[in-house]
Every structure is written in C-alpha cells, then in structure tokens.
Amino acid sequence: MRALLGALVCVVVAVVSALAVDSRLDRHWVVRGITLLLALCCAALLAADQSRRFRQIITAVGLLMFGVVFPVSSTTWATPPEIDFALAVATDAKNAAAHDARSAVTVQDVKAAAEARGGAVGSRGTSEVRGADAFPLIVRANPAQGRPWACVSFTGQEAKVRAC
C-alpha cells in the first residue's frame, strides 16, 4: 500500500512539474521520463522487497529523490535568465512570422526579435556575435555577454530552446 501511494505521488509530482516547464525546452522531457521511470522502479522494489528494513529505507529514499526532489528541482532550475530571454525572443520571432503570414520563422526574425529586446544573435561554432545565418542560433540578452548562452532553433514555427 505504501509503495502504491508513493508511486501515485511520484506520478502526480512528475505531471505537475512537467506542465510547469515550457514545452519548447526539449531536453527536459527525457530527464523527466527517466526520473519518473526510476521512481516507479523504486516503488516496485518497495512493494516487492519486504525482507530487510535497511533495504526498505534505501528504496524509500530513492523513491523520494527520484519521485519528488529531482522533478521539483529540475522545474526550479529549468529557466535561468538566459533561457527566459531566449524563450521571449522565440515567441517574438514566431509572432513576427505569423504577422507576415509566413509558415516558417527565419534567422532574420530571430535577429530582429533579439535586437528589439536589447540582445544579440550569434552562430554556433564561434563565440562572437556575428555571422549568424542558420539554426541553431546563440541568443544573448547582452551582446557582450559570455557564457552561458541559450540556443534557439526553429522547424517551421516550432521553436526548440536549450542551453548551449
């Protein structure tokens, strides 16, 4: 019964924390799936292994870590300021493409959106803000900013934002 309740709590925490993160942050779905799987494995071990108290405690700690601590902490850390800036730029670029009745967002849309917000765009492979002509693009809130960067890429009007 404790294992079933623990598994249910883990699923609820995983779903709520996944919905709290912007869907354009692509790498978080894999991490969330893995931690949910590990939490459910711990719940299954807790339900199956009733032999030693020490094993039950270790399994319960694993259930707590993979089912609650990891999903909540990854939600808290999901959008640092550079990612928030990149998400805002992606939204502005998508809106500009939609306003011009285009089915795809261009590099120029992203550049214009970043510059309108006081930032800059660069390309991967160089650390300088120049020569950006293909996705993925490095987006910076401040043109003189060093790392950390956020990368933005578009497929049609679907944005993907991640840390570079």
- 92 pLDDT exceeds 80? yes
Question: What type of residue is 40?
Answer: L
- Sign of the dihedral defined by the CA atoms of residues 15, 21, 23, 27, in that order: negative
Q: Looking at the 3D structure of the chain, how many domains does it have?
A: 2
Rounded Cα distance between 131 and 116, Å, is: 18
Q: What are 113's two structure tokens?
A: 């959106």
User: 76, 91, 108 — which closes off a domain?
Assistant: 76
Give 13-16 contacts, CB < 8 A, sequence gap 24+.
13/67, 13/68, 13/71, 13/72, 14/39, 14/67, 14/71
Which of the pair, 127 or 53, is modelled with greater confidence? 53
Q: Is 161 helix (H, G, I), strand (E, B) or coil?
A: strand
pLDDT digits (tens, 9 = 90+) for 23-39: 777 667 778 888 888 88
In this prediction, residue 93 carries a pLDDT of 94
- 91 pLDDT exceeds 90? yes
Other beta carbons within 10 Å of 117: 14
Q: Structural domain of residue 150, as residue ranges?
A: 81-163
Residue 95 and residue 72 in one domain: no
Residue 62 and residue 106 in one domain: no
Average pLDDT over residues 79-89: 85
Q: Which residue has the tokens 């590990």?
A: 38
Continuous H helices in the chain: 2-20, 27-48, 53-64, 70-76, 81-99, 107-116
Distances from the Cα of 12 to the Cα of 37, 64, 143, 160, angstroms? 13, 13, 41, 26
Residue 46 and residue 94 in one domain: no
User: 76, 109, 135 — which closes off a domain?
Assistant: 76
% the chain with pLDDT above 90: 15
The pTM for the full model equals 0.63
- 160 pLDDT exceeds 60? yes
Residue 65 and residue 122 in one domain: no
